[in-house]
Copies of this chain bind each other. A is one copy, B any other.
């Protein structure tokens, strides 16, 4: 004999509020409705649920046991309501994001931290990839948002793109680096130092190669490669190596005084750091909220970067 969860919930409400009438009020129903349901249950169970002819309604032992389950059900139902509400409001859920490693580590991770401070019920699943993978992952549906530098003219078919920062790259080194103190750097100055190469296949790597080629350096010395941002920064700090990083990443590190940018303008294809997503499929509220958050954070960040950049003379 199956018992309707709603009925169990009703029993709990009746007991907890101390009577049919009170229970009816608590449940927003009429008293006869409860009365009838109780009678029906008693008939089906073959046992009384409330002692007969007792006016302060006294629940039977069986009724107590059933009401216990009813309370569990009530609780679960309430939890579901809450989940649904949070979810719809974009305050709970999951956002699956993916992006270029250096930028995710160097900039986005900070924002995720503050975001999760505000919305602890939103889980972020992060992966790494470059434009090709990202497009694929978005199309397949494994990822909700991709964050990477994109040439605005060549946004992949079927994706929306929202730029968040200019994708300018710079030459980075430790603040203690000999070049860091020079006010005017000539390109020849750069030549002697070893390089930390960004992951092969990344735009950064291409930029490093082409920039150096432009200076005339074809065979540059790569002292380290394959590491993620954390390794790169450690190695920069402990050596005289140079590397190429998005300026925003260097900027975010500025308070830790681990990395600095050389005031040299690197020529590279114009790109915008931005967010990619598929607009043709429904965007979950939590994802939308995260995207909006990124956009607003970055508009602030872009302003701060802009202000600081004005004081620097970038040479070619």
Min C-beta distance of A33 to chain B, whole Å: 16
Quick one: given A48-B282, A88-B45, A284-B47, are A62 and B83 in contact (CB under 8 Å)? Answer: yes
Count of chain A residues with a beta carbon within 8 Å of a chain B beta carbon = 41
Contact A6 B3 (CB under 8 A): no
Contact B3 A81 (CB under 8 A): yes
The reply to whether the CB of A52 lies closer than 8 angstroms to some CB of chain B is yes
The closest CB in chain B to the CB of A94 belongs to B61
The reply to whether the CB of A133 lies closer than 8 angstroms to some CB of chain B is no
Bound-state CA distance A142–B51 (Å) is 13
Contact B48 A84 (CB under 8 A): no
Bound-state CA distance A48–B283 (Å) is 10
Min C-beta distance of A34 to chain B, whole Å: 17
Contact B84 A3 (CB under 8 A): yes
Quick one: given A6-B5, A61-B284, A72-B72, are A80 and B66 in contact (CB under 8 Å)? Answer: yes
The reply to whether the CB of A85 lies closer than 8 angstroms to some CB of chain B is yes
Binding site for B on A (CB under 8 A): 1-6, 8-9, 45-48, 51-52, 60-62, 65-66, 69-70, 72-73, 76-77, 79-81, 83-85, 87-88, 92-94, 141, 281-282, 284-285
* New contact pairs (4) apart from A3-B77, A6-B6, A62-B87, CB-CB < 8 Å: A1-B84, A5-B76, A69-B76, A69-B83
